[in-house]
Amino acid sequence: MKAKAITHPASHDHGAASTQALAQAQLREAGVRVTQARVNVLGALLETRSAASHQDIQDRFADMDRVTLYRALDCLTEAGLAHKISSDDRIFRYSVGADHGEHGLHDHAHGKQHQHGHFKCTRCARVFCLDGSDGSEFLNTVLADDGRQRPPAAQLQNALRKTLGRGFQSHEVELTIKGWCADCAD
**Which of 57, 70, 129 lies closest to 100 in space, CA to CA?**
129
Domains detected in the chain = 1-96 (1.10.10.10), 102-186 (3.30.1490.190)
pTM over 0.85: no
Per-residue pLDDT for 71 more than 80?
yes
**Which of 74, 152, 91 lies closest to 127 in space, CA to CA?**
91
Name which residue leads in pLDDT, 157 or 77. Answer: 77
Q: Do 60 and 66 touch, CB atoms closer than 8 A?
A: no
Per-residue pLDDT for 54 more than 50?
yes
Instruction: Identify the burial level of 52 via C-beta atoms within 10 angstroms of its C-beta, where 0-12 means exposed, 13-18 middle and 19 or more buried.
Output: buried
pLDDT at position 110 is 35
Instruction: Identify the burial level of 173 via C-beta atoms within 10 angstroms of its C-beta, where 0-12 means exposed, 13-18 middle and 19 or more buried.
Output: middle
Name which residue leads in pLDDT, 26 or 157. Answer: 26
Name which residue leads in pLDDT, 171 or 5. Answer: 171
Task: For strands 117-121 and 127-129, give the pairing.
Answer: antiparallel
pLDDT at position 50 is 87
Using one digit for the tens of pLDDT, what is the confidence trace for 118-156? 888 999 988 887 765 443 466 666 666 666 667 767 777
3-state secondary structure 28-97: HHCCCCCCHHHHHHHHHHHHCCCCEEHHHHHHHCCCCCHHHHHHHHHHHHHCCCCEEECCCCCCCEEECC
